[in-house]
Amino acid sequence: MDKLIIEGPSKLSGTVKISRAKNAYLPILAAVLLNDKPVHLKNLPELRDIRTMLTLLQNLGVRIDQRDNVTTLDPSNLSNHMATYELVKTMRASIFVLGPLLARLGKARVSLPGGCAIGTRPIDIHLENLKKMGAEIIIEAGYVEATKRNLQAVHLPLKFPSVGATENLMMAAVFTPGTTVIENAAREPEIEDLANFINAMGGKVEGAGTSKIQITGVNELREVEYEAIGDRIEAATYVMAALMTKSEVKVVGINPIHLEFVIDTLRSMGANIDTDENSIHVKPSELKPAKIETQPYPGFPTDVQAQMMALCCVIPGNSMITEAIFENRFMHVPELTRLGAKIELKGNTAFIEGVEELSAAPVMCTDLRASAALVVAAITAKGRSEISRVYHIDRGYERLDQKLAGLGVRVQRTNE
């Protein structure tokens, strides 16, 4: 299994280009199943999760051709309506095919995703609302068997603004006659991007990005070319690395509005950050401790919690981070402690006492964003850190070692 070897402490400098957003392209790839005409997607990031979704689409009958930076998907002849456990168990986002298959074919058989390192991650909100729309849902042998009677345009108040449920239900309703309304919808920028993609194909989705989304049924979709938004979580990770090493770094290819709460929080801690419409410019800053709680968008994103904790490890004073979205998203804490961090956990709150300097050690990745926190910490730690199980990182960070090396980090990837 590959490892990352990082010599710290490093200063960073220069510009890093952000890839297109994994969490926008995963639902967009699922939404391709709604169409019976080709779709051309630009700059799909080279990530394990994207490859998994492409494999899943191929298994369903989508023909895929990649030329230069354009991936053409032809969903005209779907031959299958089943997403197998072998694929779904490796990536929870496979559940996104449930809604579009139901809308397009009237049936879907998708393996239950199972839990993952950060929590049990049920799909009850997805299923109970598909039932409200008129789908017949049977759970058997670890699979969700969904059959469309005639999907009704109804009101769907979500008990929690679930990102995945909002996306699945939006896709399920694209052809439903009348207007389906999702209340208490998730408001993440990736939701808006999915709606923009569906509308570019000829769908009619209004209100995405707000808590109330209205989907008016259409009869057919058209061929389209599309490019997703920049990856705000990848961008936030590089911002944290720059602040942690007191470096000047320009992060380009990102709309800073998608990280408004994170940037405001960092500025309130003393961070020197300038932005324009397509970039975030971080300058060396003396920071005060943080007191944050993760929230659904537009609050502080849970996907940036681990990287923020790594930063807090080297800010003088006492910081406090509460994880309010997932029940087990502190797997990075024992690993950060191995690098010399002082962190105490009480329930879903971490109390961090800033230290003068972290010190290198061998550490192990446990989940995608925890891994990013370890990389950011290792860049700052004095000495040679070895980070194992980097396959977790490959799920969501395109060419991480090359991008870090481009900023001046002494990093190499080994296959041991």
Pick from 52, 71, 196, 302: which binds ligand EPZ (CB under 6 A)? 302
Selected range binding ligand EPZ among 123-131, 211-219, 248-256, 305-313, rule: CB under 6 A = 123-131
Taking a C-beta distance cutoff of 8 angstroms, is the pair 335, 370 a contact? yes
Using CA atoms, how far apart are residues 242 and 284, in angstroms rounded to an integer?
8
Tell me the C-alpha distance between 205 and 299, whole Å. 24
Least distance CB 162 / ligand EPZ (angstroms): 3
On the 0-12 / 13-18 / 19+ scale of CB atoms within 10 A, 54 is middle
Q: Does 399 bind ligand EPZ (CB under 6 A)?
A: no
Cβ-contact 42, 227 below 8 angstroms: yes
325 binds ligand EPZ (CB under 6 A): yes
- How far apart, in whole angstroms, are the C-alpha atoms of residue 273 and residue 267? 7
Tell which one of 47, 88, 123, 336 touches ligand EPZ (CB under 6 A): 123
Residue of the chain from 238, 326, 330, 397 that contacts ligand EPZ (CB under 6 A):
326
Quick one: 175 or 397, whose CB is closer to ligand EPZ?
397
Shortest reach from residue 301's CB to ligand EPZ, in Å: 6
Helices (H), 275-367: 305-312, 332-338
CB of 367 to ligand EPZ, least distance (A): 8
Instruction: Give the nearer residue to ligand EPZ in terms of CB position, either 23 or 52.
Output: 23
Of the residues 116, 312, 313, 365, only one is catalytic, namely 116
C-alpha 319/C-alpha 310 separation (Å) is 11
User: 124: how many CB neighbours lie within 10 A of its CB?
Assistant: 11
Whether 116 is a known active-site residue: answer yes
Which part of the chain contacts ligand EPZ (CB under 6 A), choosing from 74-82, 158-166, 265-273, 405-413?
A: 158-166
Binding positions for ligand EPZ, 222-261, rule CB under 6 A? none
Q: CA-CA distance, 81 to 69, in Å (whole number)?
A: 28
| Complete DSSP assignment for 172-196 | HTTTSSSEEEEES----HHHHHHHH
Nearer to ligand EPZ, 101 or 233 (CB): 233
Q: Report how far residue 10's alpha carbon sits from residue 409's, in angstroms, rounded to the nearest whole number.
A: 6
Residue 181: strand pairing partners = 155, 214
**Are 94 and 58 spatial neighbours (Cβ–Cβ below 8 Å)?**
no
Candidates 11, 40, 48, 121: give the one binding ligand EPZ (CB under 6 A): 121
Binding test (CB under 6 A) with ligand EPZ, winner from 3, 6, 12, 23: 23
Query: Could you say which of 14, 114, 122, 317 contacts ligand EPZ (CB under 6 A)?
Result: 122
For residue 165, state whether it binds ligand EPZ (rule: CB under 6 A): yes
Give the span between the Cα atoms of 248 and 242, in whole angstroms. 6
Among 341, 270, 261, which residue's Cα sits nearest to residue 309? 341
Check residue 369 for interaction with ligand EPZ (CB under 6 A). yes
Would you state the structure tokens that stand for residue 340, as one six-digit string? 């010399």
Residues 176-205 that bind ligand EPZ (CB under 6 A): 186
How many other C-beta atoms are found inside a 10 Å radius of the C-beta of residue 61? Answer: 15
The least distance separating ligand EPZ from the CB of residue 34, rounded to whole angstroms, comes to 18
- 368 binding ligand EPZ? (CB under 6 A): yes
Nearer to ligand EPZ, 10 or 52 (CB): 52
Count other C-beta atoms under 10 Å from residue 10's C-beta. Answer: 21
What number of chain residues touch ligand EPZ (CB under 6 A)? 24
- Nearest to ligand EPZ of 367, 381 (CB atom): 367
In DSSP terms, 273 is beta-bridged to 282
The window from 101-109, 117-125, 250-258, 401-409 that contacts ligand EPZ (CB under 6 A) reads: 117-125
> Residue written as tokens 């994170």?
262
Q: For residues 3 and 92, which CB has a smaller minimum distance to ligand EPZ in the complex?
A: 92
Applying CB under 6 A, which part among 52-60, 157-165, 238-246, 352-360 lies near ligand EPZ? Answer: 157-165
Contact present, 381 and 340 (Cβ < 8 Å) = yes
**285 within 8 A of 243, measured Cβ to Cβ:** yes
Q: Which residues are catalytic?
A: 116
The footprint of ligand EPZ (CB under 6 A) covers 23, 26, 92-93, 119, 121-126, 160, 162-165, 186, 302-303, 325-326, 368-369, 396
